[in-house]
């Protein structure tokens, strides 16, 4: 006998986006309906429950945590965005947080603790076993955003002279092994890592085979004090699954796995995106209007100051604008198109710097490429503007002024979009943070100056 499934009844393993359930979850929270809330959350993955918590307003988040009868365990807590994690920890009873922390991997505990106040850190550290507490405290001694904070201290190791049979016997006899690991790291007598072997190779090789003879060519180590951004780049560049972490004396102290490295890579991309928009990195959709305004106001003030430079340029051509009022309506065409071109070039340059594709070795070639692209785009737009000026405005001279100003501004925008982030990077500054403001100012000032200057020379 076969059974059929109603079209409205999802399979247990079907993916249902949080966005399709959030409305009903909010309704259950507002109604204080615990049974409905539990029913909606019961089939959800821990990451989806964390998303629900993040999307709620602070008031609803407080009501949710007091109403939900399920356990906010370590898996959920580790998935919650760090921008609101401290708030969630403060809302939960201490015993629930302590139990959740005991369930978490040490690297996730470090990630949680580094965002908390010192008193909260001490309280949660006291809930850990002695060995876990010592490992977490050791990780916290490393600089913030370093590989030492990112690593998992539990590493499966084997002497480099072992055979496959020795390794299999060891793995079967030990009960402390991590829940998930990908490599057995080979070490010398001084605990210096010399290579690693995948579990697949161990299971598929003859028992008498030496581990060092089936070690992976991709083996690389990272320093505990190395920046986590560099770690993410290494994983992405060399397609690593895991990488041993060593101290200043090249002794093994931990291991970083691909999931943690990719999380860092995702965070790096998100930070660059927000910085290019001049938005605070810890901005969140659940922030209050006051908090949002406070985060954005400083950059708006900076932009106001830079926009004043454009206003000063325009003021120098007051007589030209008085004689030809039509120019005031046409000015935004050159400036806004230049701004878009600058943003395009800037986005490519910032991404290339982040991925190490743009370096001192190829900077000249990239700058020349952008210059030529800007020239070609400017020529194409100039033809359109010249025709529009002649046909729509009845003045080919206005079209010529627009076209020449467009060519100049497109060149400035394209090259500035590369030169500005390169200069900031050379000065040791984040190119994603302030490049947009400088490039926008350059294109606005150049656009107005070229257009009004040419108009004063050719039309008056």
Range 300-329 average pLDDT: 79
Is pLDDT of 286 > 60? no
Q: What is the pTM of this model?
A: 0.67
Write the DSSP symbol of residue 260. Answer: H
Integer Cα distance of 260 and 220 in angstroms = 16
User: What does 435-453 look like in DSSP terms, one character per residue?
Assistant: HHHHHHHHHHHHHHHHHHH
Across-strand partners of 402? none
pLDDT bracket for residue 285 (50, 70, 90)? low
Among 80-89, 318-327, 349-358, 359-368, the least confident range? 318-327
Q: Of 137, 136, 147, whose CA–CA distance to 108 is shortest?
A: 136
224 pLDDT above the threshold of 90 = yes
Percent of the chain at pLDDT above 70?
90
Quote the mean pLDDT of the chain. 85
Residue 442 tokens, joined: 């350059």
pLDDT of residue 368: 93
Length of the chain: 460
Of the CA atoms within 13 Å of residue 186, those in its CB half-sphere come to 22
Q: Provide the pLDDT for residue 33.
A: 92
The mean per-residue pLDDT over the stretch 241-247 comes to 95
Interval 347-378: pLDDT, tens: 888 888 877 788 888 889 999 999 999 999 99
At residue 11 the predicted structure's pLDDT band, cuts being 50, 70 and 90, is very low
Residue 338, pLDDT score: 86
pLDDT tens-digit map of 117-171? 888 888 889 889 888 899 899 999 999 889 999 999 999 999 999 999 999 999 9
Residue 306 in this model has a pLDDT that exceeds 90: no
Q: Are 35 and 64 in contact (CB under 8 A)?
A: no
Hey, is 313 helix, strand or coil?
helix
> What pLDDT score does 222 carry?
96
Domains of the chain (ranges, CATH numbers): 18-150 (1.25.60.10), 157-276 (3.10.580.10), 289-458 (1.10.357.20)
Q: Tokens 């921008």 identify what position?
A: 83
């Amino acid at each position: 006998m076969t059974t059929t499934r109603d079209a409205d009844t999802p399979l247990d393993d079907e993916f249902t986006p949080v966005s399709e359930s959030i409305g009903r979850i909010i309704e259950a929270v507002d109604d204080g309906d615990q049974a409905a809330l539990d029913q909606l959350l019961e089939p959800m993955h821990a990451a989806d429950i964390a998303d629900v918590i993040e999307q709620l307003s602070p008031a609803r988040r407080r009501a949710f945590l007091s109403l939900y009868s399920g356990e906010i365990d370590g898996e959920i807590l580790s998935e919650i965005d760090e921008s609101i994690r401290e708030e969630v920890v403060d809302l939960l009873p201490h015993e629930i947080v302590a139990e959740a922390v005991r369930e978490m991997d040490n690297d996730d505990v470090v990630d949680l603790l580094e965002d908390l106040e010192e008193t909260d850190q001490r309280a949660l550290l006291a809930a850990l076993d002695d060995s876990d507490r010592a490992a977490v405290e050791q990780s916290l001694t490393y600089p913030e955003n370093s590989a030492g904070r990112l690593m998992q201290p539990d590493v499966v190791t084997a002497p480099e002279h072992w055979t496959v049979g020795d390794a299999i016997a060891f793995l079967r006899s030990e009960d402390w092994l991590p829940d998930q690991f990908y490599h057995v790291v080979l070490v010398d007598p001084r605990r210096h890592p010399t290579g690693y072997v995948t579990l697949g190779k161990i299971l598929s090789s003859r028992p008498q085979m030496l581990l060092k003879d089936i070690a992976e060519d991709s083996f690389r180590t990272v320093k505990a004090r190395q920046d986590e951004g560099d770690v993410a780049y290494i994983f992405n560049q060399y397609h690593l699954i895991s990488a041993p972490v060593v101290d200043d004396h090249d002794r093994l102290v931990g291991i970083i796995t691909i999931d943690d490295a990719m999380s860092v890579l995702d965070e790096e991309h998100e930070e660059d995106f927000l910085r290019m928009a001049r938005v605070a990195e810890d901005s969140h959709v659940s922030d209050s209007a006051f908090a949002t305004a406070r985060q954005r106001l400083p950059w708006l003030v900076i932009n106001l100051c830079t926009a004043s430079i454009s206003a000063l340029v325009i003021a120098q051509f007051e007589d030209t604008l008085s004689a030809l009022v039509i120019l005031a309506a046409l000015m935004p065409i050159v400036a806004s198109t230049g701004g878009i071109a600058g943003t395009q070039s800037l986005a490519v340059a910032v991404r290339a710097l982040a991925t190490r594709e743009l370096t001192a070795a190829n900077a000249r070639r990239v700058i020349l490429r952008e210059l030529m692209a800007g020239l070609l785009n400017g020529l194409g737009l100039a033809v359109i503007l010249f025709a529009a000026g002649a046909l729509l405005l009845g003045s080919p001279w206005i079209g010529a002024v627009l076209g020449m100003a467009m060519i100049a501004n497109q060149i400035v925008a394209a090259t500035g979009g590369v030169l500005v982030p390169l200069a900031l990077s050379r000065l040791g500054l984040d190119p994603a943070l302030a490049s947009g403001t400088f490039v926008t100012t350059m294109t606005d000032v150049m656009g107005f100056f070229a257009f009004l200057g040419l108009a004063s020379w050719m039309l008056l």
